[in-house]
Structure 1
Amino acid sequence: MGVILFSSFGVLLISFLGSSNYVWSVLVFFSCFIFLFCLVIFGNDLGVICSIFYNIGLDFTSVPLVVLSCWLLPLTLLASLGHLSYYNFISQRLYCFLLSFVLFSLFLTFSSLELSLFYISFEATLIPILIIISRWGSQYDRYQASIYFIFYTLLGSLPFLVSLLSINVFLGSLFFPFFDYFFVFEFSFNDFSSVWWFFTFIIFVVKMPVYGFHLWLPKAHVEATIAGSMLLAAVLLKLGGYGLIRLLSFFSLVNFFSLNIFLVSFCVWGSFITGVICFCQSDLKSLIAYSSVGHMSLVAGGIFLGFCSSLNGSMVLMISHGLVSSGLFCLANLLYERSNTRTLGLVRGYKCIISFLAFWWLISCAANLGLPPFPNFLGELIIITNLGFLDFSFVFLAGGAVVTSAIYSLLIYQLTQSNKIINNFSNINEINLREYSLIFFHLFPLFLLILNPLLLFINF
């Protein structure tokens, strides 16, 4: 793991000190090297993962998110080549540094064993995204999006800081392994345990974000560059789910059953309402952003259930959604770079111009709606099944959320690929090899996730 941190730190240095002629190629090479090194270390050797957990803090919850982060960094660099061609090299160098800094902070977040280091690295990931939105955003509204981003971040982070200080006073330490022995016994009979519970989890609810705390996300997605949207959808939203899973066990013996019922109901209802809101969106990027809110609300509902199987379903849905949502933003960016608009009424008929692009849209939309055998279907099925164990009425509500997700995913494909093309868009550039590779490397891991359970079943 030290090699991974050293390599990611090397990526930071290359982005500032590297030669102007080779900085892009070297950054992509080092990013791919980090990803391949993660695959070698975290393969299928359970003993290696267990030993890494006791020394650094990685386990079966954080390892998939680390690999996802390493996989996406070279893809964000590839996606940014077209956008940054209009800026000078100093701006490009700063942009690469910020993306590399996000990767370095994610490593610290997913591998920290102390809650204070987790909090610092967690908040550090927000600074580069804020700079990317405010500096490289395409419209003047990027400043309003930055204000929303800061406001909601402070709304969640300050109560969490108060919670950290309170836990440190009672336990004398913020070291994760100590919590299993002392945390529950200290807080289970305390009158203020529910307050600490709320302060601890509100930062992650805002970060995911769950419906009701989501207003910053569509604005941030619409104003961010393609790399910012990819990182927000694929990794940074997953920090909220990771924090919920990591800290939920510390309150497992505290009796919050009625509060959990309320939160599960709120998350599942928010997932359904978000699907309905997607029907009212005219901006393609905003529609994809609201679909992320709906999926992450369902993930939060599975996490608040607290069952082992529901947590596994939430992890599957988080990883698959990270790949699918990032791929959808890349596809939307391809259309925006050729038509200079994201309005669904204007972006249409691309099947007649770039026929093979319709195939990528079909696969991405099918994966987003949870069509079997894509991993989204497996994650949603596990979560809905566990919701039925709690209350069978949740099955109908979550099923309605899945149905609305299927409808707006099919609408995205139908509106962008079908209908008569507008004459102004008839002379557009073909998709080049870099853009085809970008979409392929988003969808290729999904097929690996499909084949892995099948191979295990055959071997069994």
Structure 2
Amino acid sequence: MLKIIIPTIMLLPLALLSRPKLMWTNTTAHSLLIATLSLQWLAPTYLPHKNLTQWAGIDQLSSPLLVLSCWLLPLMMMASQNHLQHEPLPRKRIFISTLIAVQPFIILAFSTTDLMLFYISFEATLIPTLILITRWGNQPERLSAGIYLLFYTLISSLPLLITILSLHTQTGTLHLPMLNLTHPTLTNSWTDLLSGLALLTAFMVKAPLYGLHLWLPKAHVEAPIAGSMLLAALLLKLGGYGIMRVTMLMTPTSELLCYPFITLALWGALMTSSICLRQTDLKSLIAYSSVSHMGLVIAASIIQTHWSFTGAMILMIPHGLTSSMLFCLANTNYERTHSRILILARGLQPILPLMGTWWLLASLTNMALPPTTNLMAEITIMTALFNWSPPTIILTGTASFLTASYTLFMLLMTQRGTTPPHITSTQNSSTREHLLMTLHITPLLLLILKPELISGMP
């Protein structure tokens, strides 16, 4: 564990002390090295935990998410390079340091075996994200987006803290393997219902559940590219991972708790897919699509079967890579056309043909085309939900149909049609951008060959 966390923390002095010319090269190369090192965690094991210490341990649920978070740090740096081109050097250094500062907390949140440490690192990721959005966002509304993010997260996580403390007084420990053994079984009394609700709400806001999702489109639209990638690929997964961890402790989940959440999640998948069909803002469209996908993850996590956990786990990883890639592509469009409005930035395929190929690949993975891992995940989740209750097939089927519709709408609007007259000259796509897209799509394509690496099951 430490052989990844210590080099990650050492990236900070590297970013602050590197010579100006070598700053980007050093930090990106070093973080790529850490990402390559972290691949060892994917080695399957039949033990419940790998590298178990007093405070951290890696099991089949956390190892794919840990590798994903290490993999995305160099990609975020590569994506931000053009965005920060004209900034003074101290601001560049602070930006890179802020990105690096989130990383140890995310690694801790995914690998810790202590509920209190999990809560602290879960909350600590908020501060660097907030700095990224409010300091480097594009529009003047970035402050209100930051306030939305802050208050949604803080209000929802206060009950979580109180419940964790009461759990500690009941059981005498917050060590997750111990809590799994003691199993504080929930009765249908009001106190147990409320504590179950408090445990889930914080993660539902982070995931986000439809109805608690209002902070997400605002935060995504205002954030710089690295902030969007961080939010879509990692912080949303913290919510999904937290739900999985907590529902394992809460067996059996009360019907009064699970029915409203599953209904909201599936209805949300349907509603946000419909909202995507009438979006004019490209970043907003991709943000809403994340809500729709995470709705399936939430519904699957709550019904607590092996199949549904596997499906939720497999969906989280490809969704992280796909949505991150879509945000990068949206950013390349924005840098050339200076507009995120779909009508003003359309017909770009003749101008940037290779970018059109990346758009096509990202859109196909987003709409779960066979044989991508997205499809395996969606089919697994649909099967699990259908076995739990047959009528859910109507909601999940319609949601996946709408997903395909809005993805094709996004692809056709950005790539096809006549180029607007105001786009007279655009710079060519750079090697850096193509490398960035390649590093996103390669893991997605390789995982098709061995999806059990990320299935969450030994």
* More RCO (CA 8 Å, sep 6+): 2
Shift in Å at residue 170 of structure 1?
Answer: 1.3
Paired amino acid for 2:219? A
Match of 1:248 in 2: 247
Shift in Å at residue 298 of structure 1?
Answer: 1.1
Q: Distance in 1 between matches of 2:452 and 2:21?
A: 45
Q: Distance in 2 between matches of 1:379 and 1:454?
A: 11
Match of 1:332 in 2: 330
Q: Distance in 1 between matches of 2:168 and 2:190?
A: 17
Contact 1:339-1:425 at 8 Å conserved across structures: yes
Paired amino acid for 2:137? G
Contact 1:321-1:368 at 8 Å conserved across structures: yes
Deviates more, 1:155-164 or 1:398-407: 155-164
Paired amino acid for 2:281? D
Shift in Å at residue 182 of structure 1?
Answer: 2.5
Q: What is the root-mean-square deviation in Å for CA atoms of aligned residues?
A: 1.7
Shift in Å at residue 98 of structure 1?
Answer: 0.8
Match of 1:209 in 2: 208
Q: Distance in 1 between matches of 2:131 and 2:336?
A: 26
Contact 2:334-2:340 at 8 Å conserved across structures: yes
Give matches, 1:23-102, under 5 Å.
Answer: 23-39=23-39, 41-46=40-45, 50-53=49-52, 56-102=56-102
The structure with the greater share of residues assigned to helix is 1
Q: Distance in 2 between matches of 1:438 and 1:49?
A: 34
Shift in Å at residue 265 of structure 1?
Answer: 1.7
Q: Distance in 2 between matches of 1:141 and 1:453?
A: 41
**Structure 2 residue ranges without an equivalent (≥5):** 454-458
Q: Distance in 1 between matches of 2:372 and 2:386?
A: 22
Deviates more, 1:43-52 or 1:303-312: 43-52
* Segments of 4+ moved more than 6 angstroms: none
Match of 1:167 in 2: 167
Contact 2:314-2:451 at 8 Å conserved across structures: no
Q: Which residue, out of 375, 378, 385, partners 1:377?
A: 375
Contact 1:222-1:285 at 8 Å conserved across structures: yes
Match of 2:418 in 1: 420
Match of 1:219 in 2: 218
Contact 1:50-1:59 at 8 Å conserved across structures: yes
1:267-306 Cα distance to aligned partner (Å, 9 max, x none): 1111001111112210000000000010001110111111
1:334-372 Cα distance to aligned partner (Å, 9 max, x none): 000000001011111111111121111111111111111
Q: Distance in 1 between matches of 2:47 and 2:36?
A: 16
Shift in Å at residue 53 of structure 1?
Answer: 3.8
Q: Which residue, out of 345, 351, 354, partners 1:356?
A: 354
CA pair 47-403 structure 1, distance change in 2 beyond 3 A: closer
Aligned residues with identical type, % of pairs: 41
Shift in Å at residue 23 of structure 1?
Answer: 2.0
Match of 1:285 in 2: 283
Contact 2:213-2:291 at 8 Å conserved across structures: yes
Shift in Å at residue 157 of structure 1?
Answer: 1.1
SS in 2 for 1:387: helix
Query: Number of paired residues?
Result: 452
Shift in Å at residue 399 of structure 1?
Answer: 0.6
Give matches, 1:141-160, under 5 Å.
Answer: 141-160=141-160
Match of 1:366 in 2: 364
**Structure 1 residue ranges without an equivalent (≥5):** 456-460
Match of 1:306 in 2: 304
Paired amino acid for 1:446? L
Q: Distance in 2 between matches of 1:313 and 1:181?
A: 25
Shift in Å at residue 4 of structure 1?
Answer: 0.6
SS in 2 for 1:192: helix
SS in 2 for 1:51: coil
Contact 2:49-2:57 at 8 Å conserved across structures: no
CA pair 105-365 structure 1, distance change in 2 beyond 3 A: same
Deviates more, 1:174-183 or 1:113-122: 174-183
CA pair 454-216 structure 1, distance change in 2 beyond 3 A: closer
SS in 2 for 1:184: coil
Contact 2:113-2:176 at 8 Å conserved across structures: yes
Match of 2:456 in 1: none
Shift in Å at residue 52 of structure 1?
Answer: 1.4
Q: Distance in 2 between matches of 1:120 and 1:284?
A: 34
Match of 2:199 in 1: 200
2:432 corresponds to 1:437: no
Contact 1:68-1:319 at 8 Å conserved across structures: yes
SS in 2 for 1:42: helix
Deviates more, 1:174-183 or 1:374-383: 174-183
Paired amino acid for 2:120? I
Deviates more, 1:395-404 or 1:259-268: 259-268
Q: Distance in 1 between matches of 2:387 and 2:329?
A: 38
Shift in Å at residue 16 of structure 1?
Answer: 2.4
Contact 2:42-2:67 at 8 Å conserved across structures: no
Paired amino acid for 2:366? N
Contact 1:353-1:426 at 8 Å conserved across structures: no
Contact 1:208-1:239 at 8 Å conserved across structures: yes
Q: Distance in 2 between matches of 1:449 and 1:47?
A: 20
